[in-house]
Amino acid sequence: MLKENDIINYLKEHDLYDPTGQDKIVCGVIMPSTLDYVLYGAGSVLSTKFNVLNYSDKGLVIIPIDNLTGKIVQNAHVFIPKDQITNIELKSKLASYKVKFDTANGSTSFKVNKLMIGAGWHKKNLQSFLSSIG
């Protein structure tokens, strides 16, 4: 599984690192849509997308993770400046949270699990992440 130092190094290499986001790095999952489930059944799990989310005073960094290797997909990150985020919705579920970020250009939602096996940094950072967006 991906290590927190790998993520911080990636952020630094791409001039996205902000010390205010040091403890606000978590995994976010984009789940298949209901239509995917209807059309592809069990095969719809292939459209699940894992990401690293880093929220800081500068904004939100979304870093895609390769589903097969568990490594960062190089140069495929997205940065949304904080002043372009118009709304953040946070909903608590039984084993996860649903986090939705709205911008003038659209919105994106992530499932953020309360526990991620093999990623201790996720659990360590979860409350700081949630506090910063909530």
List per-residue pLDDT tens for the chain, 134 residues long. Answer: 789 999 999 999 999 999 999 999 999 998 755 554 555 555 545 557 899 999 999 999 999 999 888 899 999 999 999 999 999 999 999 999 999 999 999 999 999 999 888 889 999 999 999 999 97
- Indicate the pairing of strand 59-65 with strand 78-81: antiparallel
Half-sphere exposure for 58 (CA within 13 Å, toward CB): 15
How much is the pLDDT for 68?
83
Residue 64 backbone zone (phi > 0: left; psi -120 to 50: alpha; other: beta): beta
